[in-house]
Structure 1
């Protein structure tokens, strides 16, 4: 096992495009770190620089205590699992998993032990004599995982390994990779665009945007304490309601004014943002912090999505679209039309409209 440290890491292509802007990050020994962000945020590029598959144009990458900038991928103590399974079609599962060890001239008995141990961990022992074309996508991905495990690397790197699987298989493989991390206790770095994978798998998550780190934190802290508007809007499903508004003060209380509709802030939030009274801000509140209530403010429901044990309510208030998510018991037939909504502002966030930083933490 080994920690991974990035110091001022940059990537600039020959045409002048700068994909990565001075990333500083320390991934702890044995940690499961997830890189997440939209397409084009440089999460895969950063992973490939750690692996040595992409040249670094600035900064330093350390694996353990070694500076690895000029060390080839095969000597970095890493194993990588790709989105494409990259299995040799003419080889059996056993041969695919053993191939890298054979190239390293590992003793035959040691190869056999490692392959069979990995196959047992991944529950693919009965597949060792099959060829890739005889297996499902989920089975092939397990073989690709097994090929990485037998190398006994210091660091595992995963580049969107589950994106080619169907929804049900993604869930089962997500759980299996998490279990493997607990069993192997290796450092793992996992790239995904799927925030559900990020939230459920990572010890910590690095949120990236356009080659810059937006926030590095635990899943729950990212959800409940987003550092900026981007993280707030990216993490969480349905997404956080983010509304341009104004802070106003009346009779000692501070309100969010949304085109004439006023929502009172809790005392704790009001104290943190009082210097912004009279200024435009972005009001953020998650759908579950809004509920249908008799003493709320009036909104106009346009769509209700019934999800079984909960419902998503889409409504307009102050000329803006909001989403409310609430649990329901039994069969509820809520209809479009006027309804009153309560806002739990102890759980809201206020963002500076220019810097987009969270000013209410």
Structure 2
């Protein structure tokens, strides 16, 4: 096992395009770290630089105590699982998993022991003699993981390994990978564009955008305390409701949106006194917009566009001064709401977020 450290790591392509902008990151020994972000945010590029499959343009990468900038991929103590699994179609499952050990001229009895142990961990013992074309997608994915396990690496790298699986199998496999990490206790870095996958698997998550790190924290802290507007809008499903407003003081601190003033609770108001009179972004998650009045709540009206009934709850989409807002209400109460009609919703202001208009940083944490 080993920690992974990135110090001011950059990637600039020959045409001058800068894909990665001075990333600083420390992945702890034995940690499951997830890189997440939209397509084109350079999360896979960063993973490939750690693996040694992509040259860095600046900075330093450490795996354990070793500076690996100039060390070839095969000597970095890493094992990588790719999106397309990269299995040899003419080899059996056993031979696919044993291949890297055979290249290293590992003794046959050691190879056999390692392959069978990995097969046992991954429930592949019954398919060791089959070819990849005879396997399901989930089985092929596990063979790719098994091929990595037998190498006994210091660090596992996963590049969107579940993206080719159907929705039900993805859920099953992410549970299996989490169990595998708990069993092996090896450092794992996992790339995905799926924020639900990130939230359910990672010890910590590195949220990236446009080649920069937006925030690194535990899943719960990212959700409850987003550092900026991008993280707030990216983490969470459905996404946080965000709208432009102005902080005002009419005897109380409030957010003015259109002709509506949303009073902030005193616990939050004290943090924003220096921003009165300035434009800001107001954010609140769907679960904090419902029909239940309580302490520190305010009411707003919005015209209902869509109701998504999920069974025991429903997501209600409505227009609030030209911005689509989403509330989360009990499904029975959702049946009393009419599409196309103006309805009254309750905002629980203790849970709102305020972002600086220029920097987009969260000014309330």
SS of the residue 1:196 aligns to: helix
1:357 paired residue among 338, 358, 361: 361
| Structure 2 partner of 1:306 | 309
| Structure 2 partner of 1:97 | 97
- Relative to the length of structure 1, the TM-score reads 0.97
Q: After TM superposition, give the deviation of residue 330 of structure 1 in Å.
A: 8.8
Distance 1:342 1:202, change over 3 A: same
| Structure 2 partner of 1:332 | 335
Q: After TM superposition, give the deviation of residue 14 of structure 1 in Å.
A: 0.7
| Structure 2 partner of 1:72 | 72
Cα-to-partner distance string for 1:157-198 (whole Å, 9 max, x where unaligned) = 000000000001100110000000000000000000000110
| Structure 1 partner of 2:346 | 342
| Structure 2 partner of 1:290 | 289
**Distance of 1:186 and 1:134 partners within structure 2:** 30
Q: Does 1:136 align with 2:149?
A: no
Q: After TM superposition, give the deviation of residue 320 of structure 1 in Å.
A: 2.7
- Relative to the length of structure 2, the TM-score reads 0.96
State whether residues 305 and 318 of structure 2, in contact with CA within 8 Å, keep that contact through their aligned partners in structure 1: yes
Q: Flag structure 2 segments of 5+ consecutive residues without an equivalent.
A: none
Q: Does 1:321 align with 2:328?
A: no
SS of the residue 1:53 aligns to: coil
Q: How does 1:150-165 map to 2 (within 5 A)?
A: 150-165=150-165
| Structure 1 partner of 2:194 | 194
Cα-to-partner distance string for 1:206-246 (whole Å, 9 max, x where unaligned) = 01111111000000000000000000000001000110011
Q: How does 1:136-285 map to 2 (within 5 A)?
A: 136-251=136-251, 253-285=252-284
State whether residues 82 and 161 of structure 1, in contact with CA within 8 Å, keep that contact through their aligned partners in structure 2: yes
**Distance of 2:254 and 2:307 partners within structure 1:** 28
State whether residues 293 and 340 of structure 1, in contact with CA within 8 Å, keep that contact through their aligned partners in structure 2: no
Q: After TM superposition, give the deviation of residue 329 of structure 1 in Å.
A: 5.0
| Structure 1 partner of 2:7 | 7
Q: Which runs of 4+ in 1 moved over 6 A?
A: none
Cα-to-partner distance string for 1:249-296 (whole Å, 9 max, x where unaligned) = 122x11111101111111111111121111111000001111125772
**Distance of 1:326 and 1:270 partners within structure 2:** 27
Q: After TM superposition, give the deviation of residue 339 of structure 1 in Å.
A: 1.6
Q: Flag structure 1 segments of 5+ consecutive residues without an equivalent.
A: none
SS of the residue 2:360 aligns to: coil
The total of aligned residue pairs comes to 360
SS of the residue 2:291 aligns to: strand
**Distance of 1:305 and 1:151 partners within structure 2:** 47
State whether residues 261 and 317 of structure 1, in contact with CA within 8 Å, keep that contact through their aligned partners in structure 2: no
Q: After TM superposition, give the deviation of residue 334 of structure 1 in Å.
A: 2.9
**Distance of 1:67 and 1:162 partners within structure 2:** 31
| Structure 2 partner of 1:60 | 60
